[in-house]
């Protein structure tokens, strides 16, 4: 009995010792698993060289390519004014009309004067022919007949005088009479030429009267929109007095002064991207004109950009920010914007090496849709942490994914 009890006690002692020795091993394995799961999980991306545009940033106010103040060429009273503020117009649309009563009377008066001049030259009143034989005009024929008669009498008198049959005084009187008729003939030719001149004058007067009648209607010289109306129906306006102002809505013009050092690479035809206050999206333009010289006072170059505005989405006078794309062939190190942390004005990223985070201070450049340009601090091929949060320098981390290149 005693031996049996001893054996049983020995068996339970062995089991108890075995259980005590196995407990620490299980505890060590659980500690290792908890250490791995406590590491911060991070996502990385590789800083890579990507193409980046070289830009010149400018700002300015957009203006209409053409803005025209419209007025009548003739004075008169406005009878019709079909436009107002904001009215869109096409080229040759009617802007205003004057009362035409006085102008129609002037046309009739000029037509009557022209007919009178034609009759005085022996032409039909309403015909179009203008060829005139001056010798066939009645005053010229009369003067010529008188001169021919005087010449005949002079020839006869000279014959009689040579035969001693006429006194010298009578010959002189006949000779003087001939000279008078000769002058009268020349004067009749001059009068005929003067009538030709009067005919040309009357034609011009009629053309002017008709033109003035046509000028009683004011037409739009360009496609555009009425910016201002400064007259009303029934108002008497002087020649040249402003009636309305029309602005061309497309293209618009952005005039900016670019510093000399930034203007070196700007060429006509380069693309320009604009953002305009009060409008959504980005607008496209191109460099249209460059000043031939720099402004000596502030060392700038005047650059004019044309901006297409087919739907009139942009209003002249709007403030615009623009970027002139001077080159698209440059390359730069880029990282996603989510990888950059800014604190107290200092930009930082965290790189990963041997599962350890390392803080790097960086110098950034342009911010684009592709990411942020890195000028200094890291090299191409470094892996940076996306959304690092409050990660610490030197902290052990668990990388969950590492794309081959930044996206």
Burial class (CB in 10 A: 0-12, 13-18, 19+), 258: buried
Q: For residue 201, name the pLDDT band (cuts at 50, 70, 90).
A: very high
66-98+216-247 in CATH: which number? 2.40.50.100
For residue 180, is pLDDT > 70?
yes
Question: Which pLDDT score, from 0 to 100, does residue 28 have?
Answer: 42
Give the mean pLDDT of 86-113.
96
For residue 5, is pLDDT > 80?
no
40-52+331-401 in CATH: which number? 2.40.420.20
56-65+250-329 in CATH: which number? 2.40.30.170
Question: Which pLDDT score, from 0 to 100, does residue 9 have?
Answer: 45
Question: Which pLDDT score, from 0 to 100, does residue 332 have?
Answer: 82
Question: Which pLDDT score, from 0 to 100, does residue 23 have?
Answer: 39
Give the mean pLDDT of 207-232.
96
Name the DSSP class of 166. Answer: S
Question: Which pLDDT score, from 0 to 100, does residue 36 have?
Answer: 53
- Tell me if 393 sits within 8 A of 358, measured CB to CB: yes
- CA nearest to 47, candidates 288, 386, 405: 405
What is the rounded distance in angstroms from the CA atom of residue 323 to the CA atom of residue 4?
100
Strand bridging mode 346-353 / 341-343: antiparallel
pTM here is: 0.65
Question: Which pLDDT score, from 0 to 100, does residue 50 have?
Answer: 82
**Positive or negative, the Cα torsion across 248, 252, 254, 255?**
negative
Domain ranges within the chain, ordered by starting residue: 40-52+331-401, 56-65+250-329, 66-98+216-247, 100-214
- Tell me if 83 sits within 8 A of 260, measured CB to CB: no
pLDDT tens sequence across 12-59: 444 444 444 443 443 444 444 445 557 888 888 888 888 777 788 889
Question: Which pLDDT score, from 0 to 100, does residue 310 have?
Answer: 86
Lowest mean pLDDT among 41-45, 139-143, 217-221: 41-45
Q: For residue 299, name the pLDDT band (cuts at 50, 70, 90).
A: very high
Residues above pLDDT 70, as percent of the chain: 89
Question: Which pLDDT score, from 0 to 100, does residue 16 have?
Answer: 42
DSSP-assigned states of every residue in 71-133: E-SS-EEEEE----TT-EE-TT-EEEEE--HHHHHHHHHHHHHHHHHHHHTT--TT-------
Lowest mean pLDDT among 37-46, 234-243, 272-281, 352-361: 37-46
Q: What is the mean pLDDT of the chain?
A: 86
Burial class (CB in 10 A: 0-12, 13-18, 19+), 276: buried
**Which two three-digit tokens encode residue 123?**
């032409």
Q: For residue 403, name the pLDDT band (cuts at 50, 70, 90).
A: low
Give the mean pLDDT of 111-128.
91
Question: Which pLDDT score, from 0 to 100, does residue 2 have?
Answer: 46
User: Which stretch, 2-16, 59-73, 367-381, has highest mean pLDDT?
Assistant: 59-73
pLDDT tens sequence across 153-168: 999 999 998 988 888 8
Residue of higher predicted confidence among 29 and 263: 263
Question: Which pLDDT score, from 0 to 100, does residue 195 have?
Answer: 92
């Amino acid at each position: 009995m005693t031996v049996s009890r001893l054996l049983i006690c020995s068996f339970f002692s062995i089991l108890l010792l075995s259980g005590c020795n196995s407990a620490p091993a299980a505890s060590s394995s659980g500690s290792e698993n908890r250490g791995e799961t406590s590491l911060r999980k991070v996502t990385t991306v590789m800083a890579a060289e990507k193409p980046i545009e070289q830009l010149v940033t400018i700002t300015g106010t957009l203006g209409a390519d053409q803005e025209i103040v419209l007025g009548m060429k003739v004075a008169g009273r406005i009878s019709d004014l079909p436009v107002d503020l904001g009215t869109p117009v096409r080229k040759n649309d009617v802007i205003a009309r004057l009362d035409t009563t006085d102008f129609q009377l002037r046309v009739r008066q000029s037509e009557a004067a022209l007919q009178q001049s034609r009759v005085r030259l022996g032409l039909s009143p309403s015909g179009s022919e203008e060829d005139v034989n001056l010798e066939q005009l009645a005053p010229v024929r009369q003067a010529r007949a008188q001169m021919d008669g005087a010449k005949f009498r002079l020839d006869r008198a000279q014959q009689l005088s040579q035969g001693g049959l006429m006194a010298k005084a009578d010959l002189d009187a006949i000779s003087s009479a001939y000279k008078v008729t000769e002058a009268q003939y020349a004067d009749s030719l001059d009068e005929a030429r003067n009538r030709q001149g009067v005919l040309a004058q009357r034609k011009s007067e009629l053309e002017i009267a008709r033109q003035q009648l046509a000028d009683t209607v004011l037409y739009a010289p360009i496609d555009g929109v009425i910016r201002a109306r400064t007259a009303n129906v029934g108002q008497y306006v002087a020649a040249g007095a402003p009636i309305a102002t029309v602005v061309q809505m497309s293209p618009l013009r952005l005039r900016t002064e670019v510093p000399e050092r930034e203007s070196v690479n700007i060429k006509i035809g380069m693309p320009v991207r604009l953002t305009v206050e009060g409008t959504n999206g980005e607008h496209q333009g191109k460099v249209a004109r460059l000043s031939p010289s720099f402004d000596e006072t502030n060392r700038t170059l005047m650059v004019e950009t044309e901006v297409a505005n087919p739907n009139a989405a942009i209003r002249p006078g709007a403030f615009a920010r623009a970027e002139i794309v001077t080159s698209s062939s440059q390359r730069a190190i880029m990282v996603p914007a989510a990888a950059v942390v800014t604190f107290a004005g200092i930009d930082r990223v965290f790189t990963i090496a041997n599962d350890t985070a390392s803080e790097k201070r960086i110098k950034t450049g342009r911010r684009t849709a592709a990411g942020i340009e890195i000028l200094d601090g890291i090299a191409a091929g470094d892996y940076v942490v996306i959304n690092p949060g409050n990660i610490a320098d030197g902290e052990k981390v668990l990388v969950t994914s590492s794309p081959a290149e930044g996206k």
